[in-house]
Structure 1
Amino acid sequence: MDLQQDQWWENYQKDENAVLLDVRSEEEVEEIAIPQAINIDFYKGQEFLNELEQLDKNKNYYVYCRSGNRSGQTCMLMKQLGFENTFNLIGGMNEWEGPTK
């Protein structure tokens, strides 16, 4: 599900079963990231899929990237892998106004 920044962040903060997932490259993460996020690089191909498969499918994933494109694709992939609740941040880090590290 695609969510605007305000709704995405508000839902994440209220969700006791939430996981923040950053699917950008390590270089992008080093520049700026949202605190508490786990990073799995979208561009790692099969390794990316393997790492997704190891995640707990019962959690709710709040996924972001630079613009919302990779995270949107990730949410679709996760649905195919059996994840029930994935939430894509529309606009990604390009439009992010929340906390960063």
Structure 2
Amino acid sequence: MNLSQEDWASQLAADTNAEILDVRTEDEWQDGIIPGAILNDIYKGQGFIYRLEELDKSKNYYVYCKAGGRSAQACSIMNQIGFANTYNLEGGMMHWEGAVVAPE
């Protein structure tokens, strides 16, 4: 499901079963992340799928990338392999006005 920046942020803030998934590249990840995000680069192909299979499918996933395209694709893939609740951040990090931190 595609959510506006505002809806994504407010729904995430109220969700006690949330995980944040960053599907950008490692280089993009180093530029700053939404706090609490985990990295799974969608460009890794089968490696991306393997990492998804390790995640808890009962959680709600808030997915983002740089502009919203890769994260929409990631949500579609996740839904196909059994993730019930995925939320794409429309506009991605390019339009994100919330907190951004350096990855640990």
TM-score (norm 1): 0.99
How many angstroms does 1:36 deviate by? 0.6
Partner residue in 1 for 2:67: 67
Show structure 2 runs of 5+ residues with no match: none
Alignment deviations for residues 56-97 of structure 1 (CA, whole Å, 9 cap, x no partner): 000000000000000000000000000000000000001010
Distance in 2, Cα, partners of 1:65 & 1:22? 6
Partner residue in 2 for 1:32: 32
Letter in 1 for 2:40: I
Distance in 1, Cα, partners of 2:30 & 2:73? 22
Partner residue in 1 for 2:47: 47
Alignment partner of 1:73: what SS?
A: helix
Root mean square deviation of aligned Cα: 0.5
Distance in 2, Cα, partners of 1:14 & 1:83? 20
Letter in 2 for 1:94: M
- Say if 2:46 is the partner of 1:11: no
Letter in 1 for 2:86: T
Partner residue in 2 for 1:87: 87
How many angstroms does 1:32 deviate by? 1.5
How many angstroms does 1:46 deviate by? 0.4
Identity of counterpart residues, as a percentage?
A: 53
Alignment deviations for residues 21-64 of structure 1 (CA, whole Å, 9 cap, x no partner): 00000100101211110000111010000001111000000000
Partner residue in 2 for 1:21: 21
Could you list the runs of 4 or more consecutive aligned residues of structure 1 that deviate by over 3 angstroms after TM superposition? Answer: none
TM-score (norm 2): 0.96
Letter in 1 for 2:52: L
| Aligned residue pair count | 101
Alignment partner of 1:83: what SS?
A: coil
Show structure 1 runs of 5+ residues with no match: none
Distance in 1, Cα, partners of 2:91 & 2:32? 15
